[in-house]
Structure 1
Amino acid sequence: MSNVPQIRIPATYMRGGTSKGVFFRLEDLPEGAQTPGPIRDSLLMRVIGSPDPYQKQIDGLGNGTSSTSKTVIVSRSERPDHDVDYLFGQVGIDRAFVDWSGNCGNLTTAVGAFAISAGLVAADTLEQNSVAAVRIWQANIGKTIIARVPMTDGQVQETGDFELDGVAFPAAKIALEFLDPAGDEGAIFPTGNPVDELDVPGLGKFRVTMITAGIPTIFVEADAVGYTGTELQDAINNDPQALAMFESIRGHGALQMGLVETLAEAENRQHTPKIAFVAGPSDYVAASGKRITIDDVDLLVRGLSMGKLHHAMPGTVAVAIGAAHAIPGTIVNTAAGGGNQTSVRFGHPSGTLRVGAEARESNGEWVVEKAIMSRSARVLMEGWVRVPGK
């Protein structure tokens, strides 16, 4: 067996929201991986430890879940009024692919902090003790996000007392503003309707809201798929029939949204669209043992990511929840009691989360101007990641 030295690449391992990922400066990647293509994809898969038929990613930095099989590339932005460009790659676990079709809202939380610490934000724009507003160009979806990062003595403040359900320890709060979070063409509802009837062969017809705010997402009523909205991960992820049902609804929804042309294409596009089921408020016990009461939430939402129920909520789906809640008549708005609201607190498997959104109707179409939520981020390890050379 040949002895090929490993390649050493500067990298930072970070938690952002309820996800973890490996962060790179674009300029630090090997030359062949600085542009999109198979060389970049192959490198990132090897960093994470994919594809792994055991689904554990033991020989890489992934942890065998969609929330931890993630990569981020950040560079200085040449766009006016932006500090950095941010590109997100969702790495498959047991299959060889990197999905570039959408953003990761959770890891977005860490992008501003990483950019400052990595010297990608002009120093003369930062104050010693303040909140730095880092303007991020999200390259996957072509949208602007503002991360408000706390600073102390000229450094990113990571520790604090902000608690985030789904994360065991408190940290400093980072506020995110997703500006104009609708799809590329500005249409928040790809079909033009806040509610559609989705016909899924073998399963029946479902009332759904299909929305493109944050990330393309399909919302379905919990009782229509046989659930209450109080479920935790094992209730879904240990049930192959349930996972197959949700994947079938997701695939047919992707077709109706115009995101794919065939079901086979949807199968290989796991990151988008997401699918989530919603219900009205109810008491339940979160994964941590924390008791959530009916008075703590406006509605319940359970979201799936990469074919499995998420342990908390993908950040981009939280944006979609906020946008859908702000528009009367959607599945989400109706589950929360209807009306015009600018913020919502929803229950997820790990606890609760509040997200706000500003929506208005213009010329018969709904426009979401921005969505707002708070998360936290922290550097876990920094230095070099090593991958076998070729």
Structure 2
Amino acid sequence: MASQIKVPATYMRGGTSKGVFFRLDELPKAAQVAGEARDKLLMRIIGSPDPYGKQIDGMGGATSSTSKTVIVSKSDRADHDVDYLFGQVSIDKPFVDWSGNCGNLSAAIGPFAIHAGLIPESRIPENGILEVRVWQVNISKTIVVHVPIVNGMVQETGDFELDGVTFPAAEIQVDFMDPADGESSMFPTGNLVDDLIVPDVGTLNVTMINAGIPTIFVDAAAIGYQGTELQEDINNDIKALAMFEKIRAHGALKMGLIQDLEEAKTRQHTPKVAFVAKPKTYQSSSGKTVLDSDVDVLVRALSMGKLHHAMMGTAAVSIAAAACVPGTLVNLAAGGGEKESVTFGHPSGTLKVGAKASATEESGWKVEKAVMSRSARVLMEGWVRVPDETIETC
């Protein structure tokens, strides 16, 4: 019978997500380069593909927020400390989606880099904030993670509360620098609002934006929602999920992210679909009352085919960018006009994000950076084990 191999790994929470983190040079040789061996290894570690949808025989938690992998290495790029590669592992299908970033786990990259010895000790202050400059490989962007240090060590505990995370922790500011797609306009069609024709759904007004992560924003009322929905209102409705996937696929085609609709099946991580509404009072998933006066706008977003329990960090960047551009659906739902920050309501509570947008002749709009606060913590470190045939068959 096949034996198992041990792979050094760290299990971390970052924001409202969890993932298995690796140093690139500690992966098996065959998995140190992109390809089948790496994908097979990560899927087996997470426990995918799993037709039962539970990932019982792996490290995944059977949600898009917990079926994640991260590979970190020292960076050869000027003014960057580490390179960060994110892999979103499909739960029930045999693929790893490398098309985008995870904004929540971005907050954990700085702490992991320090724990893993990827930051020179001479850089680490006795007390203060260490700025870890991260090159996000998937989207070719810079992220600056502000890691609190106490007595020369990463400060993980604290009193910062993040809706969607049960326990408080130390606050980590994350700056997403120039988050728009560097190869094209922040609004890929050149419009702040487009008509999107979706068969069996209708013609929808949408804002399609490439900032943080490609996202399609829809008005909640146009698809029969209030913007106060929780996970069970969407994820138990097969027809609703099919509708959102149609919107996502046709939006991806219009954004130029895919060449044909069939391609959307293997590109589940991007784009995201979100629906927005003006503020209303609602009960969050924890039972806490969110007052209409607490938020500027309501946003619900889907990730990997299901409504997210809180908000993806990269989608929060998209929300910030879209809210700060007058005339987008997000901006209009938030009251319109010029903005530099917005507090939005999501299923678990609220989140404040900041961004400053400016009009440019070259690309229409530009965001210098988007800023948000998250937290991160090491949950477990050591080794994960996988059958050695996982690598041998490659």
TM-score (normalised: structure 1)? 0.99
Report SS of the residue matched to 1:357. Answer: strand
> Do residues 180 (structure 1) and 145 (structure 2) align?
no
Report SS of the residue matched to 1:71. Answer: strand
Report SS of the residue matched to 1:146. Answer: strand
Shift in Å, 1:137: 0.1
Matching residue within 197, 200, 203 for 2:198: 200
| Matching residue's letter, 1:265 | E
| Matching residue's letter, 1:383 | G
- 2:334 is matched with 336
1:149-170, CA deviations, whole angstroms, 9 ceiling, x for partnerless residues? 0001111000000000000000
Report SS of the residue matched to 1:187. Answer: coil
Distance 2:197 2:105 in 1: 34
- 1:166 is matched with 164
> Do residues 387 (structure 1) and 386 (structure 2) align?
yes
> Do residues 239 (structure 1) and 249 (structure 2) align?
no
Shift in Å, 1:268: 1.4
- 2:306 is matched with 308
Distance 1:306 1:161 in 2: 31
Matching residue within 317, 322, 325 for 2:323: 325
- 1:374 is matched with 373
- How do 1:141-152 residues align onto structure 2 when only pairs under 5 Å count? 141-152=139-150
Report SS of the residue matched to 1:223. Answer: helix
Shift in Å, 1:363: 1.3
Distance 2:310 2:246 in 1: 22
Shift in Å, 1:335: 0.2
Distance 1:186 1:242 in 2: 32
- 1:217 is matched with 215
Distance 2:22 2:179 in 1: 25
**Unaligned residue ranges in structure 1 (runs of 5+):** none
| Matching residue's letter, 1:166 | G
Report SS of the residue matched to 1:332. Answer: helix
| Matching residue's letter, 1:314 | M
Distance 1:65 1:138 in 2: 23
Report SS of the residue matched to 1:130. Answer: strand
1:167-222, CA deviations, whole angstroms, 9 ceiling, x for partnerless residues? 00000000000000001314100001111010111111000000000000000000
- 1:283 is matched with 281
| Matching residue's letter, 2:173 | A
Matched positions, count: 388
- How do 1:65-84 residues align onto structure 2 when only pairs under 5 Å count? 65-84=63-82
Distance 1:255 1:276 in 2: 17
**Structure 1 ranges of 4+ moved more than 2 A:** none
Report SS of the residue matched to 2:355. Answer: strand
- 1:112 is matched with 110
> Do residues 361 (structure 1) and 368 (structure 2) align?
no
| Matching residue's letter, 2:232 | D
Shift in Å, 1:97: 0.3
Distance 2:379 2:74 in 1: 23
- 2:261 is matched with 263
- 1:32 is matched with 30
- 2:392 is matched with none
Report SS of the residue matched to 1:40. Answer: helix
Report SS of the residue matched to 1:266. Answer: helix
Report SS of the residue matched to 2:384. Answer: strand
| Matching residue's letter, 1:347 | G
1:347-382, CA deviations, whole angstroms, 9 ceiling, x for partnerless residues? 000000000001101117111110000000000000
| Matching residue's letter, 1:188 | M
- 2:9 is matched with 11
Report SS of the residue matched to 2:175. Answer: strand
**Aligned residues: percent identity?**
67
For the aligned residues, what is the CA RMSD? 0.6
Matching residue within 22, 41, 44 for 2:39: 41
Distance 2:291 2:331 in 1: 20
**Unaligned residue ranges in structure 2 (runs of 5+):** 390-394
Deviates more, 1:179-188 or 1:70-79: 179-188
Report SS of the residue matched to 1:66. Answer: coil
Distance 2:126 2:20 in 1: 27
- 2:295 is matched with 297
Distance 1:351 1:111 in 2: 25
> Do residues 122 (structure 1) and 158 (structure 2) align?
no
| Matching residue's letter, 1:366 | W
Distance 1:267 1:334 in 2: 32
Report SS of the residue matched to 2:254. Answer: helix
Report SS of the residue matched to 2:65. Answer: helix
> Do residues 228 (structure 1) and 226 (structure 2) align?
yes
Shift in Å, 1:123: 1.6
| Matching residue's letter, 1:130 | G
Report SS of the residue matched to 2:30. Answer: helix
